[in-house]
Amino acid sequence: MKGGSVSFPLIVFILFLAGCSGPPHRSRTASGAADPILRERISKDEAFKSGSGSPIPPQDRASFRGLEYFPIDPGLRFTVRLQRYSSPKQVRLGTNTGEIRSGLRYGYFDFRIGDRDCRLRVYRLDDTPGPAPYLFIPFRDATSGRESYGAGRYMDLNENTAGIYELDFNRAYNPFCAYNNEFSCPLPLEENTLKVAIRAGEKDYISARKL
């Protein structure tokens, strides 16, 4: 959506484009096609280039060559338990266009990268499109503004009853406002700024266009 609206989370964009998710990789080999993350990226690139819901400005789509990613790193994929708050509090997230998104500070994930303990807060937004509830994890890290999008990246997870999730930074993606400032996207709070460099997932789109 544009202007005063909110950008779709990746989960909803996937449903909207009939299963299209991540971007195309430079090599569309048989071995690459067997990797679910690479398949997602190939589908996402195709959707961004020609899909009706693409956030890429129309004048840029003919020259669009696909999104850029850090190499897939299995060490940045974690099995984590959602530590839910007993009484979730309301939270307000500002957007790049100055609007406010409201939701719940729902819980948090703890994990360890190298020798550093890390925590990311998990939110549930009030105006989530789509029928199924999902967990929203916006974050910044030491690559933000250098190798990855400066305003931060997102991860989405379908909520489940077991409370165990795969937190895979290889699936971290840019909000739609990274491609087109007509979109309004919630910005990560300071509490979700990691001091470590997360070299996994999507890189900065502006840098990618200069390649």
Question: Has residue 70 got a pLDDT over 50?
Answer: yes
Name beta bridge partners: 118. 111
pTM of the model: 0.84
Run of H or E residues at 11:
helix 10-16
pLDDT, greater one: 211 or 86: 86
Residues 92-107 have a mean pLDDT of 97
User: Smallest Cα–Cα separation from 169: which of 132, 139, 209?
Assistant: 139
The answer to whether residues 176 and 183 touch, using CB atoms and an 8 Å cutoff, is: yes
pLDDT tier, 64 (very low <50, low <70, confident <90, very high otherwise):
very high
Name beta bridge partners: 186. 95
pLDDT tier, 20 (very low <50, low <70, confident <90, very high otherwise):
very low
The proportion of the chain whose per-residue pLDDT surpasses 70, expressed as a percent, equals: 80
Q: Of how many residues is the chain composed?
A: 211
pLDDT digits (tens, 9 = 90+) for 135-183: 999 999 999 999 999 999 999 999 999 999 999 999 999 999 999 999 9
Tokens for 90, please give them: 């309301």
Residue whose structure tokens are 């003919």: 62
Radius of gyration over alpha carbons of the chain, in Å?
A: 16
Tokens for 91, please give them: 């939270």
Please, how many CA atoms are within 13 Å of residue 80, restricted to the half-sphere of its CB? 24
**So what's the pLDDT on residue 208?**
53
